[in-house]
Amino acid sequence: MGLSRNALAEPAVIKEKDKAMSLRIEQLARRHKHWGVLKIYRRLRKQGELVNHKRVRRLYGKLGLNLRRRTKKRLPDAVCKPLPKATACNQCWSLDFTSDTLTGGRKFRTARPPARPEYSRRLQWHRPLGLWSGKILRFGSFPKEIQSGLPFGKPERLRSDNGPEFIRQVLRDWCKDEAIELCWIEPGKPTQNAYIERFKGTFRREVLDAHIFISIRQVRQTVDVIWS
């Protein structure tokens, strides 16, 4: 036939003893479409499954779930500045917003912005609420949203970009009253707030880009299921 031996391969056959584990792996892969084999393995172990990582990798490959590798973009040489690391809990929190659009064309943003303490990496808020463009600017309710996370402890510093919500006088006054230092990154340099930018990428891939939303209620329910 003119084909090499490498081109001809037997179809993957899953043994009877591996079918239950294969089903669990496939369910996790469908629920988290951007998870690789290592994340699925860690989740299985966290759920109490006594499974070897080599077995998970073998079944993952047989099911054809391998993710497509993304090639790295070539960037010009630049001087790398390390991001200052927090050395204690509640030393610094990172803040930012994530935006998307419903099927009806209405834009929404996460009303409770993702806040991550840079030492413990614990997510303070993760439930997106209805926030139409400009609501925070009109009512100045942003400090109240931050205050809802204070039962976890008050941060010494808040790091954010130069968005309109973060440079308002109402936020500056609130931080002054709470003895919290408000820090802004340099314009056009999101790597100075890399922790929250990394989380935003995960949130967008696994929630916003993976689903079509009709209402804010559906957004809340989806986030609750994924982060449960």
Q: Is residue 149 part of a domain?
A: yes
Question: Within this chain, do residues 103 and 211 fall inside the same structural domain, yes or no?
Answer: yes
Q: What pLDDT band is residue 5 in, cutting at 50, 70 and 90?
A: low
Q: Is residue 78 part of a domain?
A: no
| Cα–Cα dist 37/56, whole Å | 7
Read off the pTM: 0.61
Question: Within this chain, do residues 100 and 173 fall inside the same structural domain, yes or no?
Answer: yes
Question: Within this chain, do residues 115 and 212 fall inside the same structural domain, yes or no?
Answer: yes
pLDDT in tens, 71-85: 766 655 545 556 667
What is the overall mean pLDDT for the chain? 75
Residues 107-136: what's their mean pLDDT?
52
What is the pLDDT, as a whole number, of residue 86?
74
Structural domain span for residue 108: 92-226
What is the pLDDT, as a whole number, of residue 135?
43
CB 216 within 8 A of CB 110: no
Question: Within this chain, do residues 38 and 148 fall inside the same structural domain, yes or no?
Answer: no
| Cα–Cα dist 166/136, whole Å | 10
pLDDT in tens, 24-68: 999 999 888 888 899 999 999 999 999 999 999 999 988 888 877
What is the pLDDT, as a whole number, of residue 3?
65
The string of DSSP codes covering 92-118 is EEEE---EEE-TTS-EEE-SS--EEET
Q: Is residue 5 part of a domain?
A: no
Residue 113 has pLDDT above 50, yes or no: no
What is the pLDDT, as a whole number, of residue 134?
39
Question: Within this chain, do residues 102 and 51 fall inside the same structural domain, yes or no?
Answer: no
What is the pLDDT, as a whole number, of residue 40?
93
Q: Which residues contact 95 (CB under 8 A, 6 or more apart)?
A: 113, 114, 115, 146, 158, 159, 160, 166, 196
Q: What is the CATH number of the domain that holds 111?
A: 3.30.420.10
Q: Where is average pLDDT lowest: 31-45, 105-119, 193-207?
A: 105-119
What is the pLDDT, as a whole number, of residue 80?
53
Question: Within this chain, do residues 215 and 106 fall inside the same structural domain, yes or no?
Answer: yes
What is the pLDDT, as a whole number, of residue 138?
40
Q: Which residue has the higher pLDDT, 184 or 145?
A: 184
Domains contained in the chain, number = 2
Question: Within this chain, do residues 38 and 131 fall inside the same structural domain, yes or no?
Answer: no
What is the pLDDT, as a whole number, of residue 205?
85
Q: Is residue 35 part of a domain?
A: yes
Token code pair at residue 203? 């949130």
Q: Which residue has the higher pLDDT, 25 or 190?
A: 25
Residue 204 has pLDDT above 60, yes or no: yes
